[in-house]
Amino acid sequence: MLSLRKEDETEMDNSTGAIDIIRTNFRLSANSQNHSRSISWAARIISGIAQGVGLLALIQLANTWASRQEETANNANPWILTLLVTAIIGAISIYIRDRFSYEGAFSVMRSVHRRVGDQLAKLPLGWFSTDTTGRLSRLGAATVNELGNLSAHLLTELSAATVTLLTLLAGLLWWYPILGSIFALCLICYLILMWALTYLDSAANAYAAPAATELADRIVEFSTCQAMLRACDQTIYPQMATALAENRRRCTRRLWVECIGNFLGGIASQTICVIMIISSVHLAFTGSLAPLAVVAVIGISLEITHYLSTISDCRTGLLAVGPTMATINEVLDARPLPEPETSLSQPVPHQVELREVDFAYGKDKQVLNKVSFTVAPHTMTALVGPSGAGKTTIARLICRFWDVNSGAVLVGNRDVRELTTEDLMSQISMVFQDVYLFDDTLEANIRIGNSNASKEALLNAAELAGVNDIVSRLPDGWNTNVGEGGCALSGGERQRVSIARAILKNAPIVLFDEATSALDAENEANLLRSFEVLRRQSTMLVIAHKLHTITQADQIVVLDNQGQVAQIGTHNELVSCQGIYREFWDERQAASGWQIAAE
């Protein structure tokens, strides 16, 4: 018995129905080639009408021939002509329909790539989470191809089959009211069944989705943690085995539901065919329908089965693309942070200030409480505090990855909410703990900081960050591809590339988030030299991991576990009085004397 847990019910509530999927497709194609979409839909309707009229003409032609009147030939000529005309119109419209459906599909795919990409670039970092990132990763080429299949095939076949059946229904009601009424009743029952099966399939998909997501996460975890697992002699990963078993169990149940749905749909379409045949035979016995026309109705009934099966298959295809549509809707409906059309002037250029800043991740995770301090232009301020005190959060609030809950973050003595994103980011270079390098050459990754920089500026930035050593050992030097995420480089080397990228940008404000944490002594010395250069040309905010690297800072801001400013001062001032900084310093000094004792 299929049962839904609370999280499965939530997943189902957020699922996208067939009507919503079609509506979303129209939304995505709104800015694409409108002429292709209009021509395609017109051709779909015309081809459906032509097929429906052609089938009706067969019944009328058979009925006319069965009348055995002298003028039979003359009476049959209009229906023969109708068959010829509908065949020609149908063939032409199907060609036009298919051609422009493909053009429209490619246009929709381009539109999705562009609109989703543009929207993601506008969304604040706070919108992204592990869950949303996982679903976005599935919006790649394969998933977007599902949208192409939706526009080029599913909607084309669904609309043509629907129009054909409606044309048949209208003709039967006009010429054969009894047979038409029976057909209408059958279609209503079939639609009710399709609605019920759609609900069951949605429930089954919602039931299986969490297990599939969990399995994908465990597979990624298993592949990325191979070094640790092998070091611990863990050739079998129990968590992945459990996720695999749960996914198999849930997928099996979903498969049973889908099989039952397909079986019931097939039975329903065949039943309609039988009912139409029996009804036509009965009408022939009562004299309401010519016996020869019954043969035509039997053939048409078999064709009706084909159209109903097409609708059923398209329903299944629409449900399969539902999760993709739901993710696209989620992205497009997300609201970027509000910003002005143009930035206001900055009275104190290059100054950074936090005024009574409160910030929380969600409702329960308060990070910063009434944080206030100022980083004067062309000075170096260091942030120190325990893990989780909000140091990285402050750097990201300055970049406006989120908006503060209360208070204000100011750049140039102007609230960052009064600056455009382009103007704000043009003033800031960032070196964060989590460094990502693109699957491109080493030079291209550094030039992201400033694509128009001269070769001399590039080499100077590389020397300051200690990248020259990396260049000398790589097989192709600057032209070496660093791989996706910089996998060809070590963690410390990726950090150095990120630092070179920030130096090359030459922004008036530079943020370093524990940039020395992954560097060895030699390259740490290079970084300290770059600090001295940057201090003369930029305002610097450094989140310190190693306290000895920030002893020359103009100001040190110390945060406590509650996300409050506990101390502010220079290194000499802070070590000369009791407090958090003095405790940190004493602990580091004591740890620096540790050594492995000989037995």
Looking at 306, 333, 360, the residue that finishes a domain is 333
What distance, in Å, lies between the first and last C-alpha atoms of the chain?
65
- The verdict on residue 448 lying in a domain is no
pLDDT in tens, the chain (599 residues): 344 444 444 444 444 566 777 777 777 766 555 677 788 889 899 999 999 999 998 888 887 776 655 455 567 778 888 889 999 999 999 999 988 888 888 888 887 888 888 888 888 777 776 666 656 766 665 566 777 788 888 888 999 999 999 999 999 999 889 999 999 999 999 999 988 988 888 888 778 878 877 887 777 777 767 766 676 766 677 888 888 999 899 989 988 988 888 889 889 999 999 999 999 999 888 888 888 888 888 889 999 999 999 998 888 888 878 777 877 888 888 888 888 888 888 888 889 999 999 999 877 678 999 999 999 998 999 999 888 889 989 998 999 988 999 999 999 989 999 998 888 988 998 887 777 788 899 999 999 888 888 899 899 888 877 788 888 888 888 999 988 778 888 777 888 888 888 888 888 999 987 655 555 666 667 667 777 777 777 899 998 777 888 888 899 999 999 999 999 999 999 999 998 999 988 887 776 655 544 44
Is there a contact between 492 and 519 (Cβ–Cβ < 8 Å)? yes
For residues 507 and 166, what is the distance between their CA atoms, to the nearest angstrom? 65
Query: How many residues are present in the chain?
Result: 599
Q: How many CA atoms lie within 13 A of 238 on its CB side?
A: 1
For residues 523 and 513, what is the distance between their CA atoms, to the nearest angstrom? 16
By DSSP bridging, strand 414-415 and strand 555-559 are unpaired
- My answer on whether 319 and 231 are in the same domain is yes
- The verdict on residue 358 lying in a domain is yes
- The CATH number linked to 397 is 3.40.50.300
- My answer on whether 120 and 39 are in the same domain is yes
Q: Which class for 314: exposed (0-12), middle (13-18), buried (19 or more C-beta within 10 A)?
A: buried
- My answer on whether 327 and 400 are in the same domain is no
Instruction: Give the neighbor-by-neighbor strand order of the sheet with 406-411.
Output: 365-375, 352-361, 406-411, 414-415
Domain limits for position 45: 18-333
For residues 472 and 493, what is the distance between their CA atoms, to the nearest angstrom? 13
Q: Which among 428, 382, 402 has a CA at the least distance from the CA of 549?
A: 382
Give strand pairing partners of 543.
383, 513
CA 416 to chain centroid: 28
Q: Which among 217, 259, 261 has a CA at the least distance from the CA of 240?
A: 217
What pLDDT, on a 0 to 100 scale, did the predictor assign at position 189?
94
For residues 465 and 470, what is the distance between their CA atoms, to the nearest angstrom? 10
For residues 223 and 55, what is the distance between their CA atoms, to the nearest angstrom? 58
- The verdict on residue 137 lying in a domain is yes
- The verdict on residue 277 lying in a domain is yes
- My answer on whether 303 and 416 are in the same domain is no
- How many domains does one find in the chain? 2
- My answer on whether 65 and 183 are in the same domain is yes
What pLDDT, on a 0 to 100 scale, did the predictor assign at position 140?
63
- The verdict on residue 327 lying in a domain is yes
Strands (E), 434-508: none
From residue 15, alpha-carbon distances to 23, 321, 330, 468, 570 in Å are: 14, 10, 11, 52, 56
Is there a contact between 557 and 373 (Cβ–Cβ < 8 Å)? yes
- My answer on whether 109 and 254 are in the same domain is yes
CA 493 to chain centroid: 30
- My answer on whether 316 and 366 are in the same domain is no
Q: Which among 431, 435, 436 has a CA at the least distance from the CA of 485?
A: 436
Give strand pairing partners of 430.
511
DSSP string of 14-47? T---HHHHHHHHHHHHTTS-HHHHHHHHHHHHHH
- My answer on whether 257 and 356 are in the same domain is no
Strands (E), 412-504: 414-415, 428-431
CA angle 329, 17, 45 (to 5 degrees): 95
Copy the structure tokens of residue 88. 């020609």
What kind and span of H or E run contains 358? strand 352-361
- My answer on whether 255 and 152 are in the same domain is yes
Is there a contact between 412 and 418 (Cβ–Cβ < 8 Å)? no
- The verdict on residue 483 lying in a domain is no
For residues 505 and 465, what is the distance between their CA atoms, to the nearest angstrom? 13
Maximum Cα–Cα distance for the chain, whole Å?
Answer: 121
Strands (E), 490-592: 509-513, 539-543, 555-559, 565-569
For residues 450 and 466, what is the distance between their CA atoms, to the nearest angstrom? 18
For residues 565 and 583, what is the distance between their CA atoms, to the nearest angstrom? 16
Is there a contact between 158 and 307 (Cβ–Cβ < 8 Å)? no
What pLDDT, on a 0 to 100 scale, did the predictor assign at position 233?
67
- The CATH number linked to 155 is 1.20.1560.10
Tokens 């329960």, residue located: 364
Strands (E), 376-465: 380-384, 406-411, 414-415, 428-431
Indicate the SS3 state at residue 431. Answer: strand
Copy the structure tokens of residue 50. 């032509």
- My answer on whether 321 and 383 are in the same domain is no
- My answer on whether 320 and 399 are in the same domain is no
What pLDDT, on a 0 to 100 scale, did the predictor assign at position 184?
95
- My answer on whether 312 and 429 are in the same domain is no
- The verdict on residue 488 lying in a domain is no
Is there a contact between 136 and 120 (Cβ–Cβ < 8 Å)? yes
What pLDDT, on a 0 to 100 scale, did the predictor assign at position 599?
47
Q: Which among 497, 534, 375 has a CA at the least distance from the CA of 383?
A: 375
Give strand pairing partners of 510.
429, 540
Looking at 299, 333, 367, the residue that finishes a domain is 333
For residues 83 and 50, what is the distance between their CA atoms, to the nearest angstrom? 9
Tokens 């055995």, residue located: 68
DSSP string of 152-221? IIIHHHHHHHHHHHHHHHHHHHHH-HHHHHHHHHHHHHHHHHHHHHHHHHHHHHHHHHHHHHHHHHHHHH
For residues 391 and 541, what is the distance between their CA atoms, to the nearest angstrom? 10
Helices 18-29, 72-122: axis angle to 10 degrees equals 70
- The verdict on residue 343 lying in a domain is no
